[in-house]
Structure 1
Amino acid sequence: MLAFIGGTGLTRMANLEITARHDITTRFGKPSAPVLEGELEGQKVLFLARHGDPHILLPHQVNYRANLVALKEAGASAIVAANAVGGITDQAPTGALVLPDQIIDYTYGREMTLFDDLAEPLVHVDFSWPFDAALRNALKVELSASSLSWTDGGCYAATQGPRLETAAEIARLERDGCDIVGMTGMPEAVLARELELPYAMLSLVVNPAAGKSTHEITMAEIEAVIHDGMASVCQLLADFARQYSPA
C-alpha cells in the first residue's frame, strides 16, 4: 500500500476518506500520530503526520524509527514524504517543488538505525542513491503532467534545527553541493532503506535560505507559501495515488 508522510503544512489530507486508524506501538515506542488508512481518489493509502496532529513535535523530537516501523506494520509498500524546505540554489525558487536525488546529513544525536540491538546482526545498508529510482520516476511522470513548477533532482541538506541556519552555514551547504535545506530528511530516508521500503521525497520550497534574499526570513512569509503550496502537493499526491502501481 502506498504511504504518505506529511510534514509542516500537511498535518492532514483534506481529500483522504479515513477508513481506519492504526494506533501502533513499536519496539521503538509510539509514532508521531496514529497511522491513518483511507481512500484517496479511490485508492487505498496510508498517511502519517510526521510532527503529530496537531503539529507539536520539533524535527529533532520526531521518533523517526517508530514512524517508519509503524508504517511498515500497517502495510506500507512504498513511501512518498512531503516536506517544507529552504531554497539555496537557483534551481530551487520559492514556491517550486523539488524532487531531490541526493542528501547530505548534518544532523546529530538522532537515532539513526534500526539495527542497534546487540542481540541482532549488524547491518550496513547501501545508501549511495538514497531515493528509490522507480518511485522517483513515477513521481516525475505525475509532475510533468501537472501545471506545477518543479525541479528534477537536487541535493537535500538535512540540518538539526529547530532554528533556521545562518547565512554562513547556508554558504557552506552550497559549497558542499546542496540545493535545498530541511530538518526532517534524515534519519527518515535511511530508516526506510533499512526496512526495504521504496522512499522518495517531495520538497516544497517555502523560503529563500539565509543570505539568499535581501530581507529577514519571517514565519508569516513561510506560512503564506505553505498554505498555497501544500494544497497543491495534497492534490498532486491524490493524483499520484490514482496512477501509481507498486512493483
Structure 2
Amino acid sequence: MTIGVIGGSGIYEALPLENVSTESVTTPYGEPSDDLTIGELAGQEVVFLPRHGEDHQHTPTEASYQANIYALKDAGVDRVISTNAVGSLREDLPPQSLVIPDQIFDRTKHRTPTFFGDGMVVHMGFADPYCPAMVDHLATAAEEAAETTVQEGGTYVCIEGPQYSTRAESEFYRDQGWDVVGMTTIPEAKLAREAEMSYATVTGITDYDVWKQDNEVTLEEVLENAAANQESINAVIEQAVRTMPEDFESEAWSALEGTINTPVESIPAETRERVELLAGQYLE
C-alpha cells in the first residue's frame, strides 16, 4: 500500500521519512501544487504533497486539486490522509483542538468538482464523503498520539474563501449544528472518491470564527494556532501511518463501479485517454 499525505496550512514539512526523493510530475489536469516528496515511514511508502505549494502561493480556490489527486493516484496512492486548518463553530472545541469530521456541507462556488465531463457523465454517490474506515483509523491514531482535545465525527462546512465568514454566515453555520468551517476539503474529497481512494482528514482548529461575541479572526491568530497544531497533527499522521492495517478495506476502492452514465462507445477518445488512469478498467 502507498499512503498519500496532503498538507494543509502550517503543515509544510514532510514526515520523518527515510529514503526520500523528490519528483516533479505533470498531469492531464495541469501541474500539481508542488513536487511530490516520496519516502518510507515504518516500512510504508508515503507520498507527501503541500496543497497550497511550499510557500503557500495557491489560494483555496486556485489550488490544483485535480492535478494533486491525479498525481497521487499516478504515484500508486490508494489511501489519503489530509490535513486542514479550520475555525470552530462550537464553544467546547477551542483553538488547538483536533476534529476528524465525517460529513461535509459544500458552500464553494468556483471550483471544478470532477475529473469527468467532456462527453462522459459520471453520477457517484457521496453520502459519506470521508471513508468511514479511514475516519475511524485517524480517530484512533489521534486518541493515541495527540495531547489535546480530539473529536471523532462532525460536519465540516467548506466555504469559498479566501475571505473568512461574515458574522451572519458564521451564526447560520453554528445554528445548523455544524462543527468546523474551512476552505479546502472541497473539491479534494470529491476528487479522491472519483479516483477511488480512501480519504479522510485531520482538522486543526485555529480560531472561533466570528460567531463568538467580540471575536475577530486574524491571520496572526490563525498562523499562531496552526503552528501550535502542527506538532499534534504530525503526531497523528505518523501514528496513523505506523498502525495502518494491511487488511484495510474501503468501499471507496470500487466507487466508480456502476456510476458511468454515458455508453462507452459514445465517450470521446480524447476524454477516454485523459481518464484512463482513473476509469480505464470500467471503459474496456
TM-score normalised to structure 1 length? 0.94
Superposition pairs of residues 159-198 of structure 1, within 5 angstroms = 159-198=159-198
2: CA distance, partners of 1:17 / 1:30: 26
Q: Which residue of 2 aligns with 1:218?
A: 218
Q: Which residue of 1 aligns with 2:274?
A: none
1:134 is aligned to 2:133: yes
Alpha-carbon distance change, 164 to 245 in structure 1, aligned in 2, over 3 angstroms = same
Counterpart contact for 1:91–1:151, Cα < 8 Å: no
Superposition pairs of residues 65-214 of structure 1, within 5 angstroms = 65-118=66-119, 120=120, 122-146=121-145, 147-214=147-214
- Secondary structure of 2:80's counterpart equals strand
2: CA distance, partners of 1:134 / 1:36: 25
Larger Cα-atom Rg: 2
1: CA distance, partners of 2:19 / 2:62: 26
Q: Which runs of 5+ in 2 are unaligned?
A: 249-284
Q: What is the CA distance between 1:17 and its match in structure 2?
A: 3.7
Alpha-carbon distance change, 163 to 131 in structure 1, aligned in 2, over 3 angstroms = same
Alpha-carbon distance change, 14 to 198 in structure 1, aligned in 2, over 3 angstroms = closer
Two-structure CA RMSD over aligned residues (Å): 1.5
Counterpart contact for 1:18–1:36, Cα < 8 Å: no
Q: What is the CA distance between 1:39 and its match in structure 2?
A: 2.1
Q: What is the CA distance between 1:216 and its match in structure 2?
A: 2.3
State the one-letter code of the partner of 1:97.
Answer: L
Q: Which runs of 5+ in 1 are unaligned?
A: none
Counterpart contact for 2:209–2:216, Cα < 8 Å: no
Deviation string 1:22-73 (CA, Å, 9 cap, x unpaired) is 2221111011011111123443211100000121111001110111000000
1: CA distance, partners of 2:26 / 2:245: 29
Counterpart contact for 2:97–2:204, Cα < 8 Å: yes
- Secondary structure of 1:203's counterpart equals strand
Q: Which residue of 1 aligns with 2:252?
A: none
2: CA distance, partners of 1:231 / 1:193: 28
Counterpart contact for 2:89–2:211, Cα < 8 Å: no
Would you say how many aligned residue pairs link Structure 1 and Structure 2?
Answer: 245
Q: Which residue of 1 aligns with 2:244?
A: 244
Moved more, 149-158 or 37-46: 37-46
Counterpart contact for 2:138–2:236, Cα < 8 Å: no
Q: What is the CA distance between 1:218 and its match in structure 2?
A: 2.0
Q: Which residue of 2 aligns with 1:230?
A: 230
Superposition pairs of residues 13-24 of structure 1, within 5 angstroms = 13=14, 15-17=16-18, 19-24=20-25
Alpha-carbon distance change, 233 to 217 in structure 1, aligned in 2, over 3 angstroms = same
Alpha-carbon distance change, 91 to 154 in structure 1, aligned in 2, over 3 angstroms = farther
Counterpart contact for 1:41–1:238, Cα < 8 Å: no
- Secondary structure of 1:227's counterpart equals helix
Counterpart contact for 1:22–1:74, Cα < 8 Å: no
State the one-letter code of the partner of 1:10.
Answer: I
State the one-letter code of the partner of 2:199.
Answer: Y
- Percentage identity across paired residues of the two chains: 35
